[in-house]
Structure 1
């Protein structure tokens, strides 16, 4: 039944090949019968190409794609799964049905799921599954208020309209409040979800909610982080989510990892195969110590390290104070010479 459903939905998707590319691969462009983009995660470039016209199945079918750089290929279901880094065919089918406005099939009856321990990786996985993409939500508005735009297709971010919040030092039986929240997926080097970072939002102002604290993490964070873009021979690491999203805006071809705190940055597990690590250095004492600790660990593994300094406390503060063009100009002389054209070419305009 699953194979039949997948085949039927894949054929429906093939009729919407160009619309799907414009939605999930917005950094690409149409060229003849193809949609051209950098990779399945929507990086700018020309490596991945998608057939926009053709038969609904078989060789040369509409929606078939190939990444010339990696050899990956597949149909539009595979593309959606790779774009959003989904972990199962069922998740890809659900996302495809959402795009096509199809109803979900009735689930088979099953025994009730036991409660996941509060704050556990399993609780994080369940909360993530209940959230939605940030496009058009309060979470996207919050990021825009911090000067961060163009992240609506970022698979590591989701929005939950009613995320529970337990106030500190309240009795155990106190009922939680529910606030909108920006969720950021914490993963290990293999891309497996290990936790979540939650930023609760004020629905009136689109800023942070009037809670103390208004950010909390859950699950297993040690060594892990919020990963945006697929690590290649280069990757950047830093503390805050907004810091690394700002750096990603300035250098959209540079994969980034937000470790979410100074202590976790110092202990971050680095992906295999990287040759050069950029470290976004927060200006406080803890930030500098964490950056130095991570740099020492990286160099001991034969990885070149390049610190990135900012005029204010972090990249997001610079972005808001000086603007995107100025942030890029400030970063340019700090980049390794061989990376300047590679990292700034797509943002030259």
Structure 2
């Protein structure tokens, strides 16, 4: 039957190399095969996909020499996109093949190994693993357009060119480019991921570079008490809500370790490293930010940690950076941090 799993797999096999270039972009072609780390698009060479039919077998079939796993290109789509239901896999395959999407009665259940539960830490780890470094990608352009130029030590951020987005349970799945941020615990174990879907048409003062969708930012996994981290833990650290907020402050305090907790509620609950002696709280100018600040001050006092609040002149530090300029942000930050930390953490920004 047209659009059955068998038919879709055969159609994908006819375009095997194009499929690999889209969904296994961490690998590369080697002769008649595509080599990559695994079906989740991890860099490496242990998995090979046959690109052309030969005496060894049909095109589109793959084998992971490390694990012994094998399958076809529908399995590649499922694993690389972190999908669970076959309907979603089939929808993505049809989109790639430019085929119409039939009614639900034409979808066929397909025997497969269980995928990671949607929104779970494992799903977050798969999403981050299948993403790529941000250098020369839309993520780098997005950050620079928001005035963020201190892009050192940001391995916690990656780029996914076709990250899935579903407005609600009753809407079709869409794909948008996205910035993927790793949420980690104090041992650097990935517990979740944050997605910022981006506008492929670039930056505007209205969207600020985010995709024109209802909820361009979503998190998944285990977030409570954890954060997106920039720099290793030490005696001094800055903590705030948003990724762009903390990266903006990092432009004028480039040597200071920082964490983004992703929301006011999560900020108030972050875990403190054992080494921490002074915490700078990057306050957002709103009631939720004030509440998180008060809770953090109480918690730091109980832990014997000095807390110093840094406040923006506008709504947040990215607004300060974009609208007032980096010199104004540097001057305001210098006036709010401890004197001994100026030379220690601001010298690279001078």
**Shorter-chain TM-score range:** 0.5 to 0.7
**2:172 matched residue in structure 1:** 175
Structure-to-structure mapping, 1:297-316, within 5 angstroms = 297-316=299-318
TM-score (norm 2): 0.68
Contact 1:186–1:225 (Cα < 8 Å) also in 2: yes
CA distance in 2 between counterparts of 1:159 and 1:152 reads 16
Displacement of 1:144 in angstroms is 1.2
Contact 1:250–1:327 (Cα < 8 Å) also in 2: yes
Displacement of 1:337 in angstroms is 1.6
Structure-to-structure mapping, 1:187-266, within 5 angstroms = 187-206=184-203, 207-266=209-268
Structure-to-structure mapping, 1:1-349, within 5 angstroms = 104-106=45-47, 107-108=64-65, 109-110=68-69, 113-151=113-151, 154-168=154-168, 170-171=169-170, 174-206=171-203, 207-348=209-350
Displacement of 1:134 in angstroms is 0.5
CA distance in 2 between counterparts of 1:235 and 1:201 reads 29
CA distance in 2 between counterparts of 1:231 and 1:127 reads 25
Contact 2:153–2:231 (Cα < 8 Å) also in 1: no
Bigger radius of gyration: 2
Displacement of 1:113 in angstroms is 4.8
Displacement of 1:266 in angstroms is 0.7
Displacement of 1:279 in angstroms is 0.3
Q: 1:277-315 CA distances to partner (integer Å, 9 max, x unpaired)?
A: 000011111101101111110111000001001100111
Q: Secondary structure at the match of 1:260?
A: coil
CA distance in 1 between counterparts of 2:346 and 2:150 reads 17
Q: Secondary structure at the match of 1:273?
A: coil
Structure 1 residues 153 and 305: alpha-carbon distance in aligned structure 2, compared to 1, 3 A threshold: closer
Displacement of 1:114 in angstroms is 2.1
Q: Secondary structure at the match of 1:161?
A: strand
CA distance in 1 between counterparts of 2:213 and 2:297 reads 35
Q: Secondary structure at the match of 2:251?
A: helix
CA distance in 1 between counterparts of 2:46 and 2:116 reads 26
Q: Secondary structure at the match of 1:141?
A: helix
Displacement of 1:182 in angstroms is 0.4
Structure 1 unmatched ranges of 5 or more? 1-89
Identify which range, 206-215 or 105-114, moves more after superposition.
Answer: 105-114
CA distance in 1 between counterparts of 2:116 and 2:142 reads 29
TM-score (norm 1): 0.68
Contact 1:186–1:197 (Cα < 8 Å) also in 2: yes
Contact 1:135–1:153 (Cα < 8 Å) also in 2: no
Identify which range, 205-214 or 108-117, moves more after superposition.
Answer: 108-117
Displacement of 1:105 in angstroms is 3.9
Displacement of 1:175 in angstroms is 3.4
Structure 1 residues 184 and 255: alpha-carbon distance in aligned structure 2, compared to 1, 3 A threshold: same
Contact 2:183–2:226 (Cα < 8 Å) also in 1: yes
Q: Secondary structure at the match of 1:143?
A: helix
CA distance in 2 between counterparts of 1:187 and 1:224 reads 6
Q: 1:177-225 CA distances to partner (integer Å, 9 max, x unpaired)?
A: 1110001110011111000110001111241101111100000100011
